[in-house]
């Protein structure tokens, strides 16, 4: 067989084409293989996040119920709870004893309501089911009748002689879902009454709305009777399961173990994850639902990126042949372009993963740190008020130290959460009309008397006229509280003076907070609004702080469309200014 020169030339031209086709095929295979790994990892990630969210909701509900039960069980042993010496004053007219009777028990009930926001009522019933008292007293007067021996919580306590958490029912007084926590009270072995409270499930639904839920993601709490008792969107306005949009799926659940399901319901492909929460004598179900298209949106993005990569690879390899023919000597340049492309894709994946880990860790650690502080601060208050018996002076000092440091830790956690929200642009603002005169009246009522007791003077320097601005009044108050708190720390104990005021200059309104404290050096002013920065002077080292207050204040002011700055000569006081357009 003879091989001609022309054949050799033709085969030489085919060789680069064959190489390019082989490389393209291998590249497409690798992209598909690596993409499949990414998709599987993302699906596992999504399921893990969903399970973590379900676990967080379960822990939240379980913690709230346990705190409520513990609070009721601890206080039932107090002598003032066991005292029923005013029972002779029970009447149908007042649905129990009058408001001026057994004040000690009523004061205890009010303290519990102040401490634990989920309780709407604190009650005491006689062994026969008659109401002895209820706080608030106005709710006692609105009771439909005196005797409640027909309620399941009464029957449950009498049957078990132990704490009982009732079924969910609609309160006749309030008209919304509540659950009763009741415990028997014994004195010398004999039952003298039933002590407890009613938990509002409306507050539970309100807290669900504050969760950082995904697009079209909803959370439902369902009781043992398959009634929807709380939901994150308040779309379910009645308790019956028939009003729940995916009731046919819930009715198909035969057990309450934690499970995940992707099911087409009413023509919509939905992702469900659900699990149970043990409550005394019952089980509740938590359901997290979201359209599958929203749950797996990132998976679709990755899949689209894979298709795009394959198309790009095809284009690049097709162009490579032309480049090969035209710029055969530029192989190194092509290699560098490919390497840069791969490096860019790798860095993008790493950044996405780091952001997710940081966000999940921050949310977890702030929740786990803050949850134990609620009972710690609550029990400190009860011990300080000697609700659990007399304590000596040394014990009182220890309790005050515990309470003070717990509140400091609570403030630090709140500040860290605010910084995180600002960094991620997730802090929510509600803009509304604000009367500046009313705002400064509230400031004066909050600080003037308190500072006067410390020997310091609080002055409001405001014009005679009022002015209205559009802002978030809660966040603006947070800024003022931070700045006034700093001023309080750094003013002298004698002849200390703090002045707050405002003025109009052109189309701007300028607020200011002035003190006659130790001042801030020009060098320190440059870094004052950075996170965790604290002015390093011997006088200031004695004053504790997180170094986050001014950074948070700057972030809030800028999100509200304003600016903040400081002026001080470093010797004779400091002035902070906050400016907004009007």
Same domain, 256 and 169: no
Of 106-110, 168-172, 176-180, 266-270, the least confident = 168-172
406-423 pLDDT, tens digit per residue, is 777 777 777 777 777 888
Count of Cβ atoms closer than 10 Å to residue 139 Cβ:
18
Query: Tell me, what's the pLDDT at 265?
Result: 73
Q: Quick one: pLDDT band at residue 554, thresholds 50, 70, 90? A: very high
**Where does the pLDDT of residue 58 fall: very low under 50, low under 70, confident under 90, or very high at 90 and above?**
confident
% of the chain at pLDDT higher than 90: 32
Q: Which CATH number do you get for residue 237?
A: 3.30.450.20
Q: What string of H, E and C letters represents the secondary structure of 106-134?
A: HHHHHHHHHHCCCEEEEEEECCCCEEEEE
The whole-number average pLDDT for the span 323-349 is 61
525: domain CATH number is 3.30.565.10
Residue 571 or 244, more confident: 571
Q: What is the pLDDT of residue 371?
A: 73
CA 442-444-450 angle, 5° bins: 115
Q: What is the pLDDT of residue 340?
A: 63
Give the long-range contacts of residues 363-371, CB within 8 A, separation 24 or more.
Answer: 363/212, 364/52, 366/413, 366/416, 366/417, 366/420, 367/56, 369/409, 369/413, 370/410, 370/413, 370/414, 371/59, 371/63
pTM above 0.75, yes or no: no
pLDDT at residue 481 above 90?
A: yes
Q: Bigger pLDDT: 567 or 346? A: 567
Coil vs helix vs strand at 236: coil
Q: Is the pLDDT of residue 5 over 50?
A: no
Residues 393 and 507 in one domain: no
The three-state DSSP-derived secondary structure of 403-430 is: HHHHHHHHHHHHHHHHHHHHHCCCCCCC
Residue 381 in domain? yes
DSSP one-letter code for 328: G
Is the same domain home to 303 and 278?
A: no
Count how many domains the chain has: 5
How many C-alpha atoms does 456 have within 13 Å on its Cβ side?
A: 22
Give the residue numbers spanning the domain of 10.
Answer: 5-69+297-331
436 plus 567 within the same structural domain: yes
The verdict on residue 116 lying in a domain is yes
The pLDDT mean for the chain works out to 81
Smallest Cα–Cα separation from 575: which of 503, 494, 505, 474? 503
pLDDT value, residue 298: 83
179-193, 276-290, 374-388 — most confident range = 179-193
Nearest Cα to Cα of residue 221 among 197, 201, 251, 243: 201
Which token pair is 539?
């006088």
Beta strand extents in 33-189 (DSSP E only): 119-125, 131-135, 164-165, 169-170, 177-187
Q: How far is CA 139 from CA 94, 105, 120, 122, 171, in A?
A: 10, 16, 10, 10, 11
Does a structural domain hold residue 481? Answer: yes
Q: Are 311 and 249 in the same domain? A: no
Is residue 473 situated within a structural domain?
Answer: yes
Question: Smallest Cα–Cα separation from 510: which of 574, 565, 433, 439?
Answer: 565
Torsion angle, CA of 334/339/345/350, rounded to 10 degrees? -170
* Same domain (yes/no): 170, 103: yes
pLDDT band at 205 (very low <50, low <70, confident <90, very high): low
Preceding amide of 136 cis, omega within 30: yes
- Among 94-108, 255-269, 361-375, the range of highest mean pLDDT: 94-108
* Beta-bridge partners for 434: 469
What does the pLDDT read at residue 10? 46
Confidence band (pLDDT; 50, 70, 90) for 456? very high
DSSP bridge pairs for 275: 286
CB atoms within 10 A of CB 212: 11
CB-count burial class (<10 Å; 0-12, 13-18, 19+) for 98: middle
Residue 319's pLDDT band, with cuts at 50, 70 and 90, is low
Provide the pLDDT for residue 567: 93
Q: How do residues 521-541 score in pLDDT, each as one tens digit?
A: 888 888 888 877 666 544 444
In a domain, 355, yes or no: no
């Amino acid at each position: 067989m003879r091989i001609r020169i022309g054949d050799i030339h033709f085969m030489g031209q085919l060789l680069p084409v064959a190489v390019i086709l082989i490389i393209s095929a291998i590249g497409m295979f690798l992209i598909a293989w690596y993409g499949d790994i990414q998709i599987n990892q993302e699906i596992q990630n999504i399921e893990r996040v969903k399970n973590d969210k379900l676990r967080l909701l379960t822990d939240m509900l379980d913690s709230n119920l346990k705190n409520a039960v513990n609070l009721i069980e601890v206080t039932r042993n107090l002598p003032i709870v066991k005292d029923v010496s005013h029972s002779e004053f029970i009447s149908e007219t007042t649905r129990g004893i009058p408001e001026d009777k057994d004040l000690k028990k009523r004061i205890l009930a009010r303290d519990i309501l102040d401490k634990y926001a989920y309780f709407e009522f604190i009650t005491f019933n006689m062994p026969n089911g008659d109401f002895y008292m209820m706080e608030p007293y106005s709710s006692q007067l609105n009771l439909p009748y005196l005797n409640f021996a027909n309620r399941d919580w009464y029957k449950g306590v009498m049957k078990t002689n132990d704490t009982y958490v009732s079924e969910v029912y609609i309160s006749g007084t309030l008209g919304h879902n509540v659950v009763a926590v009741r415990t028997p009270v014994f004195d010398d072995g004999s039952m003298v009454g039933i002590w407890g409270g009613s938990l509002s499930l409306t507050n539970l639904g309100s807290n669900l709305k504050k969760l950082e839920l995904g697009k079209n993601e909803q959370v439902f709490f369902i009781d043992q009777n398959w009634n929807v008792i709380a939901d994150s969107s308040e779309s379910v306005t009645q308790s019956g399961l028939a009003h729940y949009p995916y009731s046919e799926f819930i009715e198909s659940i035969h057990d309450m173990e934690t499970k995940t399901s992707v099911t087409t319901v009413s023509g919509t492909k939905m992702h469900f994850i659900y699990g149970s929460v043990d409550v005394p004598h019952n089980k509740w179900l938590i359901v997290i639902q979201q359209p599958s298209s929203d749950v797996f949106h990132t998976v679709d993005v990755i899949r689209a990126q894979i298709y795009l990569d394959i198309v790009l690879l095809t284009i690049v390899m097709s162009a490579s042949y032309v480049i090969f023919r035209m710029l055969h000597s530029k192989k190194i340049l092509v290699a560098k372009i490919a390497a840069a492309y791969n490096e860019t894709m790798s860095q993008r994946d790493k950044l996405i993963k780091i952001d997710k880990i940081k966000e999940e860790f921050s949310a977890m650690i702030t929740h786990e740190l803050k949850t134990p502080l609620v009972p710690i601060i609550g029990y400190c208050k009860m011990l300080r008020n000697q609700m659990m018996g007399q304590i000596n002076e040394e014990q009182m000092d220890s309790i005050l130290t515990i309470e003070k440091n717990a509140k400091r830790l609570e403030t630090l956690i709140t500040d860290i959460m605010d910084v995180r929200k600002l960094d991620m642009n997730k802090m929510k603002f509600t803009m509304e009309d604000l009367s500046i005169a009313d705002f400064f009246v509230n400031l004066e009522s909050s600080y003037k008397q308190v500072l006067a007791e410390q020997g310091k003077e609080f002055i409001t320097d405001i014009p005679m006229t009022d002015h209205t601005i559009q802002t978030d009044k809660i966040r603006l108050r947070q800024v003022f509280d931070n700045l006034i708190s700093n001023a309080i720390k750094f003013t002298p104990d004698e002849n200390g003076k703090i002045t707050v005021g405002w003025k109009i200059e052109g189309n701007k309104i300028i607020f200011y907070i002035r003190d006659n404290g130790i001042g801030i050096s020009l060098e320190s002013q440059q870094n004052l609004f950075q996170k965790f920065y604290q002015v390093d002077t011997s006088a200031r080292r004695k004053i504790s702080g997180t170094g986050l207050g001014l950074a948070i204040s700057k972030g809030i002011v800028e999100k509200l469309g304003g600016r903040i700055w400081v002026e001080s000569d470093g010797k004779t006081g400091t002035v902070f200014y906050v400016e907004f357009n009007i």
